[in-house]
Amino acid sequence: MAEQMAQKLWGGRFTTGTDPLMWEFNQCLSYDKALYAVDVAGSKAYALALSRTTPPILTTHELSEIHRGLDQVQSEWESGTFEIKQDDEDIHTANERRLSEIIGKDVGGKLHTGRSRNDQVATDMRLWLAQEVQRDIEWIQGVVGILAVKAEEWIDHLAAGFTHLQRAQPIRFSHFLLAHAHSFASDLDRFRDLLPRISVLPLGSGALAGNPFCVDRELLRNELGFQTIGGNSMQSVADRDFVAEYLFVCSLLMVHISRFAEDIIIYSSSEFNWLVCGDAYSTGSSIMPQKKNPDACELLRGKSGRTVGQLAGFLTTLKGLPATYNKDLQESQEPMFDAAVTVGKSLRILQGVVSTLKIFPENMKKSLTPDMLATDLAEYLVRRGIPFRETHHISGSCIRLSEQRGVPLSALSLEDFKSVSPHFGDDVHEVFNFETSVERRDAKGGTSRRAVLEQVEALKSKLVQSAK
């Protein structure tokens, strides 16, 4: 039993075996095997650093052997032939065990000199997450890009804009799409801003006190592509703020996805019938043949709760931990992996949903009613020199009169308008033109044709800049 315990990376001072349930509770290879490639990359860089110490920990031949063995380890993972053993506690244990089997323990056993799993796992997680964020950025760019394309394609179609889920003012349907596109563009900025805080090298920090062999951390930074080096070894091994921040930006992104999905669900209902999701992103009913359900959007809406929950759960774990490394930090990995999978799938599904949307402009047009131009009526009087607070009251009185008469606001006669206010002129009915209304909203960010196209071009430029 003592020999079995000694085989573990930490087993030398233990004399009895681990309770099987405790072993299962403690292991993380079932999910951290996703780190196999970055673990190999980190180990190859660390071996190089060990060969450059004074005196060298590794000879040139030993370095070559370690690199050869690590290349084989990675090849086995990639081909699906890596054999997991019962004592493989995590990806680091598994890779080091297999390395020693390939090149022998005398050389393989030197790789961990001065290194701890504490700085090793932190390095692996940062390497893996930096790659994942780059993929997230590309997928967000895809969503913003297709929304910009659709906004340009559908720019001539008008629809009701809502506040409080009540019809408010006429807009271009493109303006609605771009509202969501701008939220996703902000997400794009947040994911890009996160990269420098992920790209901080922990390797060379040891367990917590630093590396006793003075490995060249600048060499490690350069080999692994980190932007900066962790400035305090205690903080470096225990810092998981980058995971918390990733979970936050993922959660906010998923909230934006959920809100957009909700709008699509509402507007695809028979009560609106403005649009319909493509067959590839819809399902039917097991009992009602006529149903076409926007299940992709409902799932997107539901997945946001999963990601927000991961953030809340991890922050709760993190908040009470003493310095430095504690095994609680193992709980940082599953939320990170889960959020990455959820966000990646959600962004690709959303891009497919938007790409295959079919819209019904005539039904959008039916949502436009004259009362939605009540603000335009007030603005008409403002242009005649009347203070807006007074014109707002006058317009409201006109609305009340139309309701009393049981006719649309636009059906009131000139005499009716003049009975409310003598400031109305013979041209008052020109107010009741939806195209004119949206075109007047021509300030930056507005819903006029020019302003909407300006937004489209700004988003396209942002995508080009972020791709550089």
The position carrying tokens 């800049």 is 465
Exposed, middle or buried by CB within 10 Å (0-12, 13-18, 19+), for 9?
A: middle
User: Taking a C-beta distance cutoff of 8 angstroms, is the pair 239, 199 a contact?
Assistant: no
Which residues sit opposite 159 in a β-bridge?
171
Peptide bond into 56 cis (omega under 30): no
How, if at all, do strands 200-201 and 228-229 pair? parallel
Residue 67 annotated among the catalytic residues of the structure: no
Residue 157 annotated among the catalytic residues of the structure: no
Report the C-alpha gap between 33 and 28 in whole angstroms. Answer: 8
Q: How far apart are the first and last CA of the chain?
A: 57
DSSP-assigned states of every residue in 93-158: HHHHHHHHHHH-HHHHTTTTTT--HHHHHHHHHHHHHHHHHHHHHHHHHHHHHHHHHHHHHTTT-E
User: Taking a C-beta distance cutoff of 8 angstroms, is the pair 33, 93 a contact?
Assistant: no
The residue from 285, 397, 413, 461 that is catalytic is 285
Report the C-alpha gap between 303 and 293 in whole angstroms. Answer: 17
Return the ∠ at Cα 402 (arms to 401 and 403), rounded to 5°: 90
Report the C-alpha gap between 374 and 394 in whole angstroms. Answer: 10
Report the C-alpha gap between 346 and 348 in whole angstroms. Answer: 5
The position carrying tokens 């992920």 is 198
Active site residues: 164, 285
